[in-house]
Amino acid sequence: MSNADILDTRFRSALRRMVERGRLRCYGSTADPALEVAAIMKQFDNEDAAILFGDVKGSSVPVIGNMLSNRLNCEAAFGCDFRAIRDFIGRAIGAPQPPVVVERAPVHEEVFRDGFDITKALPVLTHTPGDAGRFITAGVIIARDPETGVYNASYHRIQLLGPKRTAIRLDFGRHLRLAFERAKHKGEHLPIAICIGTDIALQYTAATMGSQMPETADEIAVAGGLAGRPLPVAKAVSQDLLVPAETEIVLEGVIRCDQTIVEGPFGEFIGYMAHAEDMPTVDITAFTHRRRPIYHAINGYGRETIMLRKYVLEASLLKVLRAAVPIVTDAEMTAGGLHRFHAVLQIKRTSPAHEGLQRNAILAAFGALKDLDMVIVVDHDIDIRDPQDVEYALATRMEASRDLIVIPQARGHEYVRSGDHGVIAKLGIDATVPFAEQARFARCAFAPADATPDDFSQDGAQITARLDL
């Protein structure tokens, strides 16, 4: 593996690169973690730089928000363009790098086994007025399956309940839920570590779900595969676990097998309030952090939540499609579809034998990603990252009576309220032109131009004089 294939994905390295590229700015006033910080994050969470809240009311710990909320932030954090990020994600599962254990870890610069209160020590946000309380949202949960011994890394929201007690949202079908159920069957609590401000390769690995990350995959090793180097880890101080050594903050504890509490509601990624439900509680057994830690926050209903899965899902989709339908050249999980529910596929046909494969690609995409509800396939002359160009293809190349493919009663995401508990019709749209008619649909071409922005003036007086206004 060459040096170009090795990424420095440490959390602080990512932040330094973002500063160098102008993708991190500091909020100039005191901000309240009760609603205000999250509101400011939401206001500037589209294409803006990440935000450092250096002066947080009631806390000496700064907050980073909107860190990976858009393409430019992600490219700055990783130090490469989005296509390279997807390639690194694509290699991760196939080339895992087992972690290396270190004796001295920055996350253990400050260690508290007793006498701590996480509700006072951390600037945990209240995100929306409808939330049930304060929620940790950017914590990557590290656990080891009690039967297989395989490490899992995943995102789950954590609701603060007391100085050393939280609730945890465990959705059915997730690997952590399965590990917890196995521990519960044995009458045992499940040890976990909640890692806040951790290696961004691990953050992306934790965002990989379902068929893209088999239960047998050690996700700390997969994160090493993404980075192209083993992740340094350290032994947790109160649980039999390994934790990423350069994480900002780690909360060690156990998910109790014998206790539940009403968790939620909480403003989720789909834009609705997730309902309250009985969920397990967590006893925090140790609190460790770097000497001057940084708290990473993610809005539940914010761009970073969905961007974390965009490149992961695109890489997973392209891996399946390029094997099944080689004429697929690119894929875009769209912003309006929350980078999860809608995809645009680009194809390039070079012979009449390729006719019809565009529809195979639609079906393969639905099979690859369960949550996809709509897939649009376009020709190679359409810019799939330009919504106007995609809509142009729909307007000029799609004929509704023949180019709409509806798959009724399919499985989607249970949070989509237009469905019936996750059962929903899926829509494929063939917005390509028949191979034999590509010449007839060719778009007008202009002569080459070599003008640059420097060739233009915005001098009002000059323009007024020229036009005799």
pLDDT surpasses 90 at 49: yes
- Sequence ranges of the chain with CATH classification 2.30.110.10: 3-304
Architecture of domain 3-304: Roll (2.30)
Its pTM stands at: 0.90
- Sequence ranges of the chain with CATH classification 3.40.1670.10: 325-436
pLDDT band at 36 (very low <50, low <70, confident <90, very high): very high
pLDDT tens-digit series, residues 230-249 = 999 999 999 999 999 999 99
At residue 364's C-alpha, the angle toward residues 358 and 368, to 5°, is 145
Structure tokens at 279: 């969920």
Task: Let me know if domain 325-436 sits in CATH 3.30.1330.10.
Answer: no
pLDDT tens-digit series, residues 386-419 = 999 999 999 999 999 999 999 998 888 777 888 8
pLDDT surpasses 80 at 209: no
pLDDT tens-digit series, residues 53-112 = 999 999 999 999 999 999 999 999 999 999 999 999 988 878 999 999 999 999 999 999
pLDDT surpasses 80 at 428: yes
pLDDT surpasses 80 at 317: yes
Q: At 378, phi and psi to the nearest 5?
A: -130, 165
Q: What was the pLDDT predicted at 1?
A: 55
* Residue linked to tokens 């140790």: 286
Distance CA 286, CA 294 (A): 18
pLDDT tens-digit series, residues 343-363 = 999 999 999 999 999 999 999
Average pLDDT rounded to a whole number, residues 151-177: 94
Q: E strands, 291-403, where?
A: 295-297, 328-333, 342-347, 374-379
Distance CA 238, CA 73 (A): 35
